[in-house]
Amino acid sequence: MHDSATVHGETHNPALLHHFATEEQQRDSANFGMWIFLATEVMFFGGLFCAYLIYRGWYYNDFATASRSIDAALGGTNTAVLICSSLTVVLAIWAAQTSRRGLMLAMLVLTMLFGATFLGIKGIEYHDKFVEHHVPGSSFDFHDPIPDHPGEFVNPQHAQIFFALYFVMTGLHALHMVVGLGIFTWLLWAAWKGRFTPEYHTPLEIGGLYWHFVDIVWIYLFPLLYLIDRHK
């Protein structure tokens, strides 16, 4: 006989899945599961950070020169945009916890707007790189002088490695943003449908965890990619 009836005297929330004994167990499991998934994502990006670390050590001047050619102001703006989106996420969850439906929906929409803004700015950056022929491949062309090294020019192959890492790292990050937007579209729909209550808003919590993680990755990407040797 499945425990589809009352559990421990509480009335049974339809969101409680049959294999869990209590809602708390279900929520804790979902939370824990998402944290472990984020651990896998740390290792996933970690491989790229490892490659970056090694080549930055090997080709510092070439990397620094290449880094100067990407727009730090846009990168910084994007960092601020994501930070604001993380705030709107926690506010959305707080709104769910305190039964503020309007605020919850507004914060979810704002989060998605910030996310879309991020992607828009990223699009501008990629476009600039494409136009300047800084995209690795057959049309790659980068011959900037190395700052503070008069007469020396960057090694284009080493610069290409920088840009390869730039595109793979920010591209993978942007892909995660897109997935995040998809998740929040669903969360918005579910919130609109009234699925979230102060007692049950686990999908918001774990969707939020994912979003914050994507923010944290960018917090590291920004200084590492955009700010190498900017004082020259």
Partner 1 sequence: MSMATSTGQPVERENYLNKHYGVGSWLLTTDHKRIALLYLISITFFFFIGGFFALLIRLELLTPASDLVQADTYNKLFTMHGQVMVFFFLIPSIPAVLGNFLVPMMIGAKDLAFPRINLLSWYLYIIGGLMMLHCMLTGGVDTGWTFYTPFSTAFSNTKVIEAGLAIFVAGFSSILTGLNFIVTIHRMRAPGMTWTRLPLFIWAHYATSIIQVLGTPVVAITLVLVVAERALHLGIFDPKLGGDPLLFQHLFWFYSHPAVYIMILPSMGVVTEIIACFSRKRIFGYSFVALSSIAIAVFGFLVWAHHMFVAGISVYAALVFSILSYAVAVPSAVKVFNWTATLYKGSVHYDAPMLYAFGFLGLFTIGGLTGLFLACLGVDMHVHDTYFVIAHFHYIMVGGALMGYLGGMHFWWPKISGKLYPEGWARLAALIVFIGFNLTFFPQFLLGYLGMPRRYADYSHMPEFQILNVFSTAGSTVLGVGYLLPMIYFLWSMRYGKPAPDNPWNAAGLEWKTQSPPTTFNFEEEPVVTWEAYNYEEIDAPHPQEVPVAR
Partner 2 sequence: MSGHSTSEHSKSPLATYFAVWIALLCGTALTYYAAKLNLGVFNSAVALTIATTKALLVALFFMHLKGASEKLLKVVVVSTIFFLILLLALSMADYGTRHLS
Give the position of tokens 């510092």. 60
177 Ramachandran zone, left/alpha/beta (phi>0; psi -120 to 50):
alpha
The reply to whether 231 sits near partner 1 by the rule CB under 8 A is no
Instruction: Return the sign of the alpha-carbon dihedral for residues 119, 121, 123, 129.
Output: negative
Shortest distance (Å) from residue 35 CB to partner 2: 5
The reply to whether 39 sits near partner 1 by the rule CB under 8 A is yes
Interacting residues with partner 1 between 69 and 128 (CB under 8 A): none
- Contact between 153 and 146 under an 8 Å Cβ cutoff? The reply is yes
Say which entry of partner 2, partner 1, none residue 8 contacts (CB below 5 to 8 A, set by partner kind).
none
Among 120, 137, 182, 198, binds partner 2 (CB under 8 A): 198
3-state SS, residue 222: helix
Give the position of tokens 């824990």. 32
Q: Give the integer Cα–Cα distance in Å for 106 and 88.
A: 9
Q: Which stretch binds partner 1 (CB under 8 A): 73-81, 113-121, 153-161, 214-222?
A: 153-161
Among 9, 24, 138, 193, binds partner 2 (CB under 8 A): 24
58 or 130: CB nearest partner 2: 58
The reply to whether 8 sits near partner 2 by the rule CB under 8 A is no
Helices within the chain (DSSP H only): 23-58, 60-68, 72-97, 101-131, 156-192, 202-221
85 or 135: CB nearest partner 2: 85
Q: Where are the beta strands (DSSP E) in the chain?
A: none
The reply to whether 83 sits near partner 2 by the rule CB under 8 A is yes
Among 14, 43, 102, 138, binds partner 2 (CB under 8 A): 43
The separation between the first and the last C-alpha atoms of the chain, rounded to the nearest angstrom, is 72
Amino acid (one-letter) located at 133: H
For 113-134, the DSSP string reads: HHHHHHHHHHHHHHHHHHHTT-
Q: Which stretch binds partner 1 (CB under 8 A): 17-25, 66-74, 179-187, 204-212?
A: 17-25
| Contact footprint for partner 2 (CB under 8 A) | 24, 31-32, 35-36, 39, 42-43, 46-47, 49-50, 53-54, 57-58, 72, 76, 79-80, 83-84, 86-87, 89-91, 93-94, 97-98, 198, 208-209, 212-213, 215-216, 219-220, 222-224, 227, 229-232
